[in-house]
Amino acid sequence: PTTTTLAPTTTTLAPTTTTLAPTTTTLAPTTTTTLGDEESVQIVDDNEETPPVYEGEYSNFSGFEGTNQFKLDELVLALPQVLQDILKDKIIYINGCHEYAKSLVGRCPYGVWDSSGTNIDGTKGAEWSMSIWVSNRAFDAEQAKDVLTHESSHALSYITRNCNTQNNLSYRLDAWNYFGGEEKFADALVLYFGGSYNHYRELGDLNRDERTYLEEYIAACTNT
Protein backbone atom coordinates (compact mmCIF):
# COMPACT_ATOMS: atom_id res chain seq x y z
CA PRO A 1 0.00 0.00 0.00
CA THR A 2 1.03 3.59 -0.67
CA THR A 3 1.00 6.09 2.21
CA THR A 4 0.81 9.85 1.52
CA THR A 5 1.58 12.34 4.29
CA LEU A 6 0.33 15.93 3.81
CA ALA A 7 2.34 18.70 5.43
CA PRO A 8 0.28 20.92 7.75
CA THR A 9 -0.65 24.35 6.35
CA THR A 10 -0.73 27.40 8.59
CA THR A 11 -2.39 30.70 7.60
CA THR A 12 -1.78 33.90 9.53
CA LEU A 13 -4.03 36.89 8.86
CA ALA A 14 -2.34 40.24 9.23
CA PRO A 15 -4.27 43.30 10.49
CA THR A 16 -6.62 44.91 7.98
CA THR A 17 -5.60 48.22 6.48
CA THR A 18 -7.55 50.79 4.43
CA THR A 19 -6.15 52.94 1.61
CA LEU A 20 -8.24 55.88 0.40
CA ALA A 21 -8.15 56.67 -3.33
CA PRO A 22 -9.11 60.17 -4.61
CA THR A 23 -12.68 59.24 -5.60
CA THR A 24 -13.01 55.64 -4.50
CA THR A 25 -12.76 53.67 -1.30
CA THR A 26 -10.16 50.93 -1.26
CA LEU A 27 -11.38 47.98 0.75
CA ALA A 28 -9.01 46.60 3.31
CA PRO A 29 -6.34 44.57 1.57
CA THR A 30 -5.78 41.46 3.68
CA THR A 31 -2.21 40.19 3.89
CA THR A 32 -2.10 36.39 4.19
CA THR A 33 1.07 34.59 5.20
CA THR A 34 1.25 30.91 4.24
CA LEU A 35 4.38 28.93 4.93
CA GLY A 36 6.50 32.06 4.78
CA ASP A 37 5.03 33.43 1.54
CA GLU A 38 3.22 36.79 1.56
CA GLU A 39 0.75 38.21 -0.96
CA SER A 40 -1.03 41.54 -0.88
CA VAL A 41 -4.32 41.92 -2.76
CA GLN A 42 -6.06 45.24 -3.28
CA ILE A 43 -9.78 45.23 -4.16
CA VAL A 44 -11.25 48.53 -5.32
CA ASP A 45 -14.98 49.22 -5.50
CA ASP A 46 -15.34 51.79 -8.26
CA ASN A 47 -19.01 52.32 -7.39
CA GLU A 48 -18.43 53.58 -3.85
CA GLU A 49 -17.45 57.22 -3.49
CA THR A 50 -15.23 58.51 -0.73
CA PRO A 51 -17.29 60.45 1.84
CA PRO A 52 -16.69 64.21 1.69
CA VAL A 53 -14.22 65.55 4.23
CA TYR A 54 -15.44 68.20 6.66
CA GLU A 55 -13.07 71.17 6.82
CA GLY A 56 -15.13 73.65 8.85
CA GLU A 57 -14.73 75.44 12.15
CA TYR A 58 -14.98 72.31 14.31
CA SER A 59 -11.96 70.63 12.74
CA ASN A 60 -9.60 72.01 15.37
CA PHE A 61 -11.80 71.10 18.34
CA SER A 62 -10.18 68.59 20.66
CA GLY A 63 -11.99 65.28 20.16
CA PHE A 64 -13.48 66.17 16.78
CA GLU A 65 -13.99 63.09 14.59
CA GLY A 66 -15.80 64.49 11.58
CA THR A 67 -16.48 61.31 9.64
CA ASN A 68 -20.21 61.78 10.19
CA GLN A 69 -20.41 65.58 10.50
CA PHE A 70 -22.46 65.98 7.34
CA LYS A 71 -24.80 63.19 8.42
CA LEU A 72 -25.17 64.90 11.78
CA ASP A 73 -26.01 68.18 10.07
CA GLU A 74 -28.77 66.38 8.16
CA LEU A 75 -30.15 64.88 11.37
CA VAL A 76 -30.22 68.33 12.97
CA LEU A 77 -32.39 69.56 10.10
CA ALA A 78 -34.74 66.62 10.75
CA LEU A 79 -35.17 67.30 14.48
CA PRO A 80 -38.75 67.87 15.70
CA GLN A 81 -39.77 71.40 14.79
CA VAL A 82 -40.16 72.55 18.39
CA LEU A 83 -36.53 71.60 19.09
CA GLN A 84 -35.31 73.24 15.91
CA ASP A 85 -37.12 76.45 16.75
CA ILE A 86 -35.94 76.83 20.33
CA LEU A 87 -32.35 75.66 19.73
CA LYS A 88 -31.75 77.58 16.51
CA ASP A 89 -28.62 79.78 16.62
CA LYS A 90 -28.02 78.78 20.26
CA ILE A 91 -26.41 75.35 19.90
CA ILE A 92 -23.54 73.90 17.86
CA TYR A 93 -23.57 70.24 16.82
CA ILE A 94 -20.29 68.34 16.65
CA ASN A 95 -19.49 64.85 15.42
CA GLY A 96 -16.83 63.88 17.89
CA CYS A 97 -15.73 62.20 21.08
CA HIS A 98 -15.93 64.70 23.94
CA GLU A 99 -12.61 64.12 25.68
CA TYR A 100 -13.58 65.19 29.19
CA ALA A 101 -16.68 62.99 29.10
CA LYS A 102 -14.51 60.15 27.83
CA SER A 103 -12.17 60.63 30.78
CA LEU A 104 -15.14 60.32 33.15
CA VAL A 105 -16.67 57.12 31.78
CA GLY A 106 -13.60 55.41 30.34
CA ARG A 107 -14.80 55.31 26.73
CA CYS A 108 -16.29 57.61 24.15
CA PRO A 109 -19.95 58.29 25.00
CA TYR A 110 -22.61 58.17 22.31
CA GLY A 111 -23.55 61.76 23.05
CA VAL A 112 -22.71 64.74 25.26
CA TRP A 113 -24.42 68.01 26.10
CA ASP A 114 -21.84 70.62 27.21
CA SER A 115 -23.29 73.98 28.17
CA SER A 116 -20.08 75.51 29.53
CA GLY A 117 -17.40 74.26 27.12
CA THR A 118 -15.37 71.77 29.15
CA ASN A 119 -11.71 71.00 28.38
CA ILE A 120 -10.17 67.57 28.86
CA ASP A 121 -8.80 68.64 32.28
CA GLY A 122 -12.23 69.75 33.47
CA THR A 123 -11.64 73.48 33.16
CA LYS A 124 -14.38 75.56 31.57
CA GLY A 125 -14.44 78.12 28.79
CA ALA A 126 -13.54 76.04 25.73
CA GLU A 127 -14.80 77.37 22.43
CA TRP A 128 -17.41 74.61 22.21
CA SER A 129 -19.74 75.97 24.90
CA MET A 130 -23.44 75.30 24.27
CA SER A 131 -22.53 72.24 22.21
CA ILE A 132 -24.00 68.85 21.48
CA TRP A 133 -21.60 66.04 20.59
CA VAL A 134 -22.62 62.85 18.78
CA SER A 135 -19.79 60.38 18.36
CA ASN A 136 -18.95 57.93 15.61
CA ARG A 137 -19.89 55.16 18.06
CA ALA A 138 -23.48 56.38 18.01
CA PHE A 139 -23.51 56.32 14.21
CA ASP A 140 -21.90 52.88 14.11
CA ALA A 141 -24.60 51.61 16.49
CA GLU A 142 -27.29 53.25 14.31
CA GLN A 143 -28.55 55.24 17.30
CA ALA A 144 -27.36 58.70 16.26
CA LYS A 145 -30.86 60.08 15.62
CA ASP A 146 -32.19 59.27 19.09
CA VAL A 147 -28.89 60.25 20.73
CA LEU A 148 -29.16 63.65 19.05
CA THR A 149 -32.74 64.01 20.30
CA HIS A 150 -31.65 63.03 23.82
CA GLU A 151 -28.85 65.61 23.91
CA SER A 152 -31.12 68.22 22.31
CA SER A 153 -33.61 67.53 25.09
CA HIS A 154 -30.87 68.36 27.61
CA ALA A 155 -30.33 71.61 25.75
CA LEU A 156 -34.08 72.29 25.81
CA SER A 157 -34.16 71.62 29.55
CA TYR A 158 -31.23 73.99 30.09
CA ILE A 159 -32.57 76.80 27.92
CA THR A 160 -36.01 76.63 29.58
CA ARG A 161 -34.58 76.44 33.11
CA ASN A 162 -36.24 79.72 34.09
CA CYS A 163 -39.68 78.58 32.97
CA ASN A 164 -42.12 77.99 35.83
CA THR A 165 -45.19 75.87 36.41
CA GLN A 166 -48.60 77.34 37.24
CA ASN A 167 -47.58 77.04 40.89
CA ASN A 168 -44.52 79.22 40.21
CA LEU A 169 -42.12 76.32 40.62
CA SER A 170 -39.21 75.61 38.29
CA TYR A 171 -40.55 73.37 35.54
CA ARG A 172 -37.10 71.87 35.15
CA LEU A 173 -36.82 70.86 38.80
CA ASP A 174 -40.42 69.68 38.78
CA ALA A 175 -39.66 67.48 35.75
CA TRP A 176 -36.64 66.02 37.52
CA ASN A 177 -38.87 65.04 40.42
CA TYR A 178 -41.54 63.70 38.11
CA PHE A 179 -39.31 61.55 35.89
CA GLY A 180 -36.46 60.78 38.29
CA GLY A 181 -33.71 63.16 37.22
CA GLU A 182 -32.40 65.02 34.20
CA GLU A 183 -31.30 61.95 32.24
CA LYS A 184 -34.66 60.22 32.59
CA PHE A 185 -36.39 63.50 31.71
CA ALA A 186 -34.35 63.61 28.47
CA ASP A 187 -35.12 59.95 27.75
CA ALA A 188 -38.83 60.67 28.21
CA LEU A 189 -38.56 63.49 25.68
CA VAL A 190 -36.93 61.10 23.19
CA LEU A 191 -40.01 58.90 23.43
CA TYR A 192 -42.33 61.91 23.26
CA PHE A 193 -40.69 63.02 20.02
CA GLY A 194 -41.09 59.59 18.45
CA GLY A 195 -37.75 57.96 19.24
CA SER A 196 -37.15 54.57 20.83
CA TYR A 197 -33.59 54.40 22.15
CA ASN A 198 -33.34 55.01 25.92
CA HIS A 199 -30.32 54.44 28.12
CA TYR A 200 -31.60 55.58 31.52
CA ARG A 201 -35.37 55.15 31.52
CA GLU A 202 -36.56 51.73 32.69
CA LEU A 203 -40.34 52.14 32.40
CA GLY A 204 -40.77 51.61 28.68
CA ASP A 205 -43.25 53.68 26.68
CA LEU A 206 -44.75 56.86 28.07
CA ASN A 207 -48.08 56.51 29.80
CA ARG A 208 -50.91 58.97 29.24
CA ASP A 209 -50.07 61.10 32.30
CA GLU A 210 -46.41 61.38 31.31
CA ARG A 211 -47.31 62.41 27.79
CA THR A 212 -49.73 65.02 29.11
CA TYR A 213 -47.05 66.35 31.46
CA LEU A 214 -44.61 66.80 28.57
CA GLU A 215 -47.24 68.42 26.38
CA GLU A 216 -47.96 70.97 29.11
CA TYR A 217 -44.25 71.58 29.73
CA ILE A 218 -43.53 72.20 26.05
CA ALA A 219 -46.56 74.43 25.66
CA ALA A 220 -45.64 76.50 28.71
CA CYS A 221 -41.91 76.78 28.09
CA THR A 222 -41.59 77.04 24.31
CA ASN A 223 -44.65 79.17 23.51
CA THR A 224 -46.03 76.51 21.18
CB 172 within 8 A of CB 163: yes
* Environment class of 89 (CB within 10 Å of its CB; exposed 0-12, middle 13-18, buried 19+): exposed
Nearest to 80 by CA among 193, 221, 214: 193
pLDDT bracket for residue 48 (50, 70, 90): low
Question: Chain-wide mean pLDDT for the chain?
Answer: 84
SS3 182: helix
The DSSP element (H or E) to which 176 belongs, if any, is helix 171-179
162-190 pLDDT, tens digit per residue, is 999 999 999 999 999 999 999 999 999 99
Residue 33: which residues within 8 A CB-CB, separation 6 or more?
Answer: 11, 12, 14
Rounded to whole angstroms, how far apart are CA atoms 151 and 148?
5
20-38 pLDDT, tens digit per residue, is 333 333 334 443 333 444 4
Question: Strand 31-34's sheet: what is its strand order?
Answer: 11-13, 31-34, 37-40
pLDDT bracket for residue 49 (50, 70, 90): low
Look at residue 223 in the predicted model and tell me its pLDDT. 83
Look at residue 116 in the predicted model and tell me its pLDDT. 95
pLDDT bracket for residue 143 (50, 70, 90): very high
Q: Phi then psi for 187, rounded to 5 degrees?
A: -60, -40
77-128 pLDDT, tens digit per residue, is 999 999 999 999 999 999 999 999 999 999 999 999 999 999 999 999 999 9
pLDDT above 70 coverage of the chain, percent: 77
Nearest to 134 by CA among 189, 65, 182, 181: 65
What pTM, to 2 d.p., does this model score?
0.77
Q: Could you state, in order of their start, the residue ranges of all structural domains in the chain?
A: 57-222
